Amino acid sequence: MDEVESILNLATERIEAAKSLEELEKIRVSFLGKNGAITSSMKKIPALDPKDKALFGKRLNEAKLKIESLLSDKIAELKVSETNKKMIENSLDLTIPGPMRTIGKVHPITRTIDECVRIFSKMGFDVVEGPEMESVYYNFEALNTPQWHPARDLQDTFYISDELLLRTQTSPVQIRTMERRKPPLRIISPGRVYRNDYDATHLPSFFQIEGLAIDKEISIADLKGTLESAIKALLGEDKVIRFRPHYFPFTEPSVEVDVSFSGKKEWLEILGAGMVHPNVLRNVGLDPDEWQGFAFGMGMERIAMLKYGINDIREFPRNSLNFLGLF
């Protein structure tokens, strides 16, 4: 066995036995490096007999190419092997349950609105909607609210122009509905309203549900019975409800309705209501001697405060995940 064949056989044996890329790199250097076996053999060519130089040099080049090819193949093989090993070590057990993800929940105000709509729908009330940007006529004048009424002041109402504003109540939907539909009718209108007020029980933007019933021979007893049934269905039969005389320009007589905090000698006003004022009926072309009705406006945030035991109404629009996670 001559020198070239011996180098090639040794290189082949060591390459086939290699177990890692690091080991292969050492083999490459030992045979093809600057001081490797092939390089050392090439340095002997000048001393050879002239007739042997060409053949020896050719065989060394062929051996070098063969070793490079063997190295390349082995590198590819080891890379595949290492990849497979990592895949096995890091493989996923698809039978193991995945990590639990936080699931979004319905906001407590949305939940309260939906529950109110279900309760009043069972009582025969239709759901209607109206615009949040409203005209002064529908928000005030058609509802018998005089120019001097404090609700029309700039410090209480968000005006867009002299004739347009962000509605301060859902009551304009009453007028719009009575203009389009003939009585008898029963409607509720959930929606967002705006008032320039902000403290623990007031928000500048909040939700109301407007209610209206128009028929012949409706009395305040019908209003009282409707509201008591709805409030107890919402908040529980044990809730104490208080009706207080009040003034609203669009109802006469008018009341405010308070509900007691559970276990406390305190009251929270949740709605205003009353018998539809004769002038409001006249404004939509109805004869108050023939038709009567009652109306109410319920604050959804106030009801949610009672329902979920929240002391500060400002928690609802903050949308803290810690707070919302309680529901």
What's the pLDDT at 265?
54
As a whole number of angstroms, the distance between CA 222 and CA 216 comes to: 12
User: What are the pLDDT tens digits along the chain (327 aa)?
Assistant: 478 788 878 888 888 888 888 888 888 888 888 787 877 877 777 777 777 777 777 887 887 888 888 888 888 888 888 887 777 777 666 777 878 777 778 899 999 999 999 999 999 999 999 999 999 999 999 999 877 767 667 668 899 998 999 999 999 999 999 999 999 999 999 999 999 888 887 889 999 999 999 999 899 999 999 999 999 999 888 888 999 999 999 999 999 999 886 545 588 888 999 999 999 999 999 999 999 999 999 999 989 988 888 888 898 888 888 888 888
pLDDT at 154: 61
DSSP code per residue over 181-221: SPSSEEEEEEEEEE-S--BTTB-SEEEEEEEEEEETT--HH
Residue type, 257: V
Binding-site positions for Mg(2+): 252
Tokens found for residue 188: 């509720």
Question: Do 225 and 273 meet the contact criterion of CB atoms below 8 Å apart?
Answer: no
Q: Are 59 and 77 in contact (CB under 8 A)?
A: no
Instruction: State the pLDDT at residue 264.
Output: 53
Q: Identify the pLDDT of residue 263.
A: 45
pLDDT at 180: 94
Q: Cβ–Cβ contacts within 10 Å for residue 217, how many?
A: 8
| Residues tagged in the binding site annotation | 252
The contacts found for 29-36 with CB under 8 angstroms, 24 or more apart, are: 31/7, 31/67, 32/64, 32/67, 32/68
Indicate the angle between helix axes 21-32 and 3-17, nearest 10 degrees: 170
Strand 126-127 to strand 185-194: parallel, antiparallel, or no bridges (unpaired)? parallel
3-state secondary structure of 299: strand
Per-residue confidence (pLDDT) for residue 188, from 0 to 100: 96
What's the pLDDT at 155? 65
Q: What are the angstrom distances between the C-alpha of 20 and each of 15, 25, 66? A: 10, 9, 20
309: left (phi over 0), alpha (psi -120 to 50) or beta: left
Which pLDDT score, from 0 to 100, does residue 285 have?
Answer: 94
CB contact at 8 A, 143 and 172: yes
